Structure 1
Amino acid sequence: MRLKLSELASAAGSALAPGDDRDVTAVVTDSRAVRPGTLFVCLSGEHVDGHDYALKAQEAGAAAIMGTRAPQAMPDGLYVPYVRVEDAVKALGRMAALWRDRCAGVKVIAVTGTAGKTTVKELLAQTLALAGKTARNAANLNNQIGLPLSLLATDGDEAFWVMEVGISHDGDMDELGGIVRPDVALILNAGAGHTEGLGARGVAWHKARLLHSVPRDGICLISADYPDLVREARAVRGDLLYFTAEGRPLQFRGAPAGNEGERGRYRLNLDGRACDVLAPFRGSYGAENCIAVAAVASLLGLTPETIARGLAGAELPAQRFVRKQAGPWQIIDDTYNANPLSMARMLDAAAELAHGEGRGCFIAVLGEMRELGGLAVQEHERLGRHLAEIRPCAVFWKGGQAEAVRAGLEQGGYTGPLFTPADAGEFCARLNGLEQGAGRGGLVLFKGSRSNALEEWLSALQDAAAGQRGM
């Protein structure tokens, strides 16, 4: 990025003193990321106030500081230009929108959905990179702070920007859509997630709001496998394109076609052109990911051969169905986050993997699904019934709603144990006790909402296994 400070200040709703204008080559909110030429934006959080780091940013070479404090309330010794704004988060969005305007030659793809959007964003970006320079959000920086920072971190000479858009409150999609204004909108799916903040209109309604921000000559691609999503998207506009992973006779469709080692094979049809691909995951849920990636890439001009090469070489993001080993246990690390749709999919995929590879016991190590509001008890009971159907050897639970899960397990006729360990030590002891009884280990899925920090239990299990090897 390269813009004048005066342009950024104007977009943010402020102004500069005469003589203060200069080039800005980056915008950051973390003082540790400041480099010469950076605009440091001070955000005020519950525990940290960015204004207190203004001098540190200046020492690191910041070209200017932006914040909400009055100039006289800033730390003594600040000599670089200070831009005062009313709302620093909204200022980030306005500055990102300005940069989006300046980069009209870039094809911008926005990816949203309830489950799998980070994985699809990563695989799509890695595939498109075979056809041209591509930028994407780092990790899942997809909200009112992360998305603008991701846009502002681009060079502007890319062929493609692949931007994940995440929402949790009413109005989020309108705000983020107005910033990113995609040439291509991809809505992967819609299910219960962040329902506490999204209100009564439903997740599909909020996801479909992204389509309002696509220009009339843009591409709107949605899954046909979610009736609520199809209904809400059609209410926004009629020029929709569809993909399916459930066998519907549509322009873009995909289906599982077996496995090769730890990778899955999928058979795709791209507007009449066959495309068989290998992908870095296994299971039926992967068909949705593959056809979504391939459909967008095809619409942007990539050949089936290039798409297959991109998916075959793609790597999954951290903490998303990553396979590890801890002593006798094969681990599936999917600890980043969870909602009812993603939880059900990962349970099915892990159970299929355990039974298909003859890995002995399948153990589900799960955490509470947060931000479900009034649906929390209902969805956790449903999770318990789903667990009963796939019959794990044992279930471990961390966080609230354990009794709702237990009720669902009982409704489904499950007779195995449900453990609620008090800490990582108790978890390891109980799990390894199961292993000693079975005499053979098995496959363990770790998945729960981010705030459960299930990776702490996973790390404890790995440390315990490493300690045993060292004895």
Structure 2
Amino acid sequence: MEKISLQEIARATGGTIRFGGENLFVDSVVIDSRKVQEGSLFVGMAGARVNGNDYVANAFSQGAAIAIIDEAKKVAQQEGKGLIQVASSRQAMLDLARYYKNRTLKAVEFIAVTGSVGKTSTKDLLHGMLSRKYRVYKTSGNYNNELGLPLTLFAMDASYDLAVLEMGMSARGEIHQLADLTRPNRALITNIGSSHLEILKTRENILLAKMEITDFFGPEQTLYLNADDPYLQTVEKPPYRLVRAGLTAGEYTARNLRLGAESISFALYQGTQHLGELTLPMPGAHNVANAVLAFACAHDLGIEPKDLEHFTLERTKMRLEVLRTSSLTVINDAYNASPESAKAGLRTLAAHKGRKVAMFGDMRELGEATIASHQEVGALARTLCDVFIAIGDQTAAYRDGFGPKDFHGFPSVESALTHLPKLLQPGDVVYLKASRASHFEQLIPHLERI
């Protein structure tokens, strides 16, 4: 982040300076007082469990130069520190991020990525492709919402050519807000799945929510769509450029797929023209679709298949992350889960040699489709793996689909831990999949000791 002053922050947020002098600057922004560094701006706000407005003194003691609060808290004035009162800290984050983008990042081209499944992998792929020619920033981890995206912008400086930004949502209007903040010049939508059915009720509504990524598009902007997705196929004749890419349909396609346990190779085509061969260090046929979509965008920016020889990829953790212990191969795909990503993950597991163990937690936000979705995943697992271990509230639904043979169910991660050494064998390939709230990362240290 390039430095920003107390006065600039107050103007950008419409806040009132309660104390602080003219020579106060910050060079980072945090919303967690535990992450404060010397010279940080700490933005205090009320959360589900903790109220950040109560942690200003702690942030100052850790080195924060300026703090923002949205409650009338009594804060002792300190030499060399600044305090700004705003109406809403969340809105202040967005307003300050917009100011910083317009001031510092005006020469950076922004590319937005969304979709029900695969947006993180597509972001990683596009970042890797574009990095062969440009200086590119990408969203870190899950910083893809109204708090994470401003933090992503604050982490950038003017040295970047491009930024690949992941945009998530759980309701209508959220991606609109993120698109308004960043005003992307290009956007990619991977697919329209069943995630968020609990809130949005239908896939048609999910499509509308994802399409908000184009709310500020004009003739100069480009939208890249997965041509194989039936809901995205309904997007026709928009007032901006539209490019479709997919496994079997679209302007860009993949042919001659070679799927390995830890890599994928395929031929890239633009129409009938063979552009070249591409090998990627990640598994799964679904990632071929993500890669073709990412390449369509990269190709528009001057990237050719020959530029991607010996391609390396900076992958986000807990997305088909392969860990090898002394006795097991663990595929950690447990950052999040939906029926679509779960089925794709099971097919990836099937490409491995050895006894295949599916270890699944609950898939959240599916609404009325919850039980049927878990049953469907269990039924597919019956055809692709040898053992199924279910953990959580949906154990019965998984068992309905998989059947009782070689099925083991537990109500919680803690209750499963003592049984895993007896259920797993040397040489097993263990696939982990669950929604984030299941905290499957707690399983990893125990698996490493088996």
Relative to 1, partners in 2 of residues 1:64 and 1:235: Cα closer, same or farther, differing over 3 Å? Answer: farther
Q: Do 1:255 and 1:284's aligned partners in 2 also have CA atoms closer than 8 Å?
A: no
The reply to whether residue 368 of structure 1 matches residue 362 of structure 2 is: yes
Q: Deviations over 1:325-356 (max 9, x none)?
A: 334432111111101111111111111x23xx
The reply to whether residue 404 of structure 1 matches residue 397 of structure 2 is: yes
Letter in 2 for 1:418: F
Q: Deviations over 1:298-350 (max 9, x none)?
A: 111223222344xx211322111111233443211111110111111111111
Letter in 1 for 2:267: R
Relative to 1, partners in 2 of residues 1:448 and 1:256: Cα closer, same or farther, differing over 3 Å? Answer: farther
The reply to whether residue 417 of structure 1 matches residue 406 of structure 2 is: yes
Q: Do 1:55 and 1:78's aligned partners in 2 also have CA atoms closer than 8 Å?
A: no
Q: Do 1:273 and 1:304's aligned partners in 2 also have CA atoms closer than 8 Å?
A: no
Q: Which moved more, 1:194-203 or 1:81-90?
A: 194-203
Q: Do 1:363 and 1:445's aligned partners in 2 also have CA atoms closer than 8 Å?
A: yes
Structure 2 counterparts to residues 208-227 of structure 1, below 5 A: 208-227=211-230
Relative to 1, partners in 2 of residues 1:50 and 1:435: Cα closer, same or farther, differing over 3 Å? Answer: closer
Aligned to 1:448: 434
Number of residue pairs matched? 444
Superposition RMSD in Å: 2.4
The reply to whether residue 459 of structure 1 matches residue 445 of structure 2 is: yes
Tell me, in whole angstroms, the C-alpha distance in 2 between the residues paired with 1:127 and 1:455: 29
Aligned to 1:268: 268
Relative to 1, partners in 2 of residues 1:418 and 1:15: Cα closer, same or farther, differing over 3 Å? Answer: same
Relative to 1, partners in 2 of residues 1:235 and 1:175: Cα closer, same or farther, differing over 3 Å? Answer: farther
Q: Do 1:170 and 1:197's aligned partners in 2 also have CA atoms closer than 8 Å?
A: no
Tell me, in whole angstroms, the C-alpha distance in 2 between the residues paired with 1:341 and 1:126: 24
Q: Deviations over 1:11-51 (max 9, x none)?
A: 22324479844433222212233334322111211222222
- Report which of the two has the higher share of helix: 1
Q: Do 2:264 and 2:285's aligned partners in 1 also have CA atoms closer than 8 Å?
A: no
Aligned to 1:393: 386
Relative to 1, partners in 2 of residues 1:425 and 1:53: Cα closer, same or farther, differing over 3 Å? Answer: closer
Letter in 2 for 1:92: M
Structure 2 counterparts to residues 225-264 of structure 1, below 5 A: 225-231=228-234, 233-234=235-236, 237=239, 239-245=241-247, 247-248=248-249, 250-255=250-255, 257-259=257-259, 262-264=262-264
Q: Kindly state the Cα deviation for residue 68 of structure 1 after the two structures are TM-superposed.
A: 0.4
TM-score for the superposition, normalised by structure 1: 0.87
Q: Do 1:280 and 1:315's aligned partners in 2 also have CA atoms closer than 8 Å?
A: no
Tell me, in whole angstroms, the C-alpha distance in 2 between the residues paired with 1:217 and 1:448: 40
Structure 2 counterparts to residues 432-443 of structure 1, below 5 A: 432-435=421-424, 441-443=427-429
Aligned to 1:468: none
Can you give the 5+ residue segments of structure 2 that lack an aligned partner in the other structure? Answer: none
Relative to 1, partners in 2 of residues 1:330 and 1:273: Cα closer, same or farther, differing over 3 Å? Answer: same
Q: Kindly state the Cα deviation for residue 146 of structure 1 after the two structures are TM-superposed.
A: 0.5
- Identity, % of aligned pairs? 27
Structure 2 counterparts to residues 94-173 of structure 1, below 5 A: 94-102=95-103, 103-173=105-175
Q: Do 1:26 and 1:39's aligned partners in 2 also have CA atoms closer than 8 Å?
A: yes
Aligned to 1:287: 288
Q: Kindly state the Cα deviation for residue 132 of structure 1 after the two structures are TM-superposed.
A: 2.0
Q: Deviations over 1:90-143 (max 9, x none)?
A: 211121122222322111111111112112212222332221221122111111
Relative to 1, partners in 2 of residues 1:179 and 1:68: Cα closer, same or farther, differing over 3 Å? Answer: same
Tell me, in whole angstroms, the C-alpha distance in 1 between the residues paired with 2:208 and 2:129: 29
Q: Do 2:268 and 2:275's aligned partners in 1 also have CA atoms closer than 8 Å?
A: yes
TM-score for the superposition, normalised by structure 2: 0.91
Q: Do 2:255 and 2:269's aligned partners in 1 also have CA atoms closer than 8 Å?
A: no
Q: Do 2:18 and 2:85's aligned partners in 1 also have CA atoms closer than 8 Å?
A: no
Q: Which moved more, 1:442-451 or 1:319-328?
A: 319-328
Question: Could you say what secondary structure the match of 1:202 adopts?
Answer: helix
Tell me, in whole angstroms, the C-alpha distance in 1 between the residues paired with 2:237 and 2:300: 23
Tell me, in whole angstroms, the C-alpha distance in 2 between the residues paired with 1:131 and 1:157: 14
Aligned to 2:304: 303
Question: Could you say what secondary structure the match of 1:365 adopts?
Answer: strand
Structure 2 counterparts to residues 19-30 of structure 1, below 5 A: 20-21=21-22, 22-30=24-32
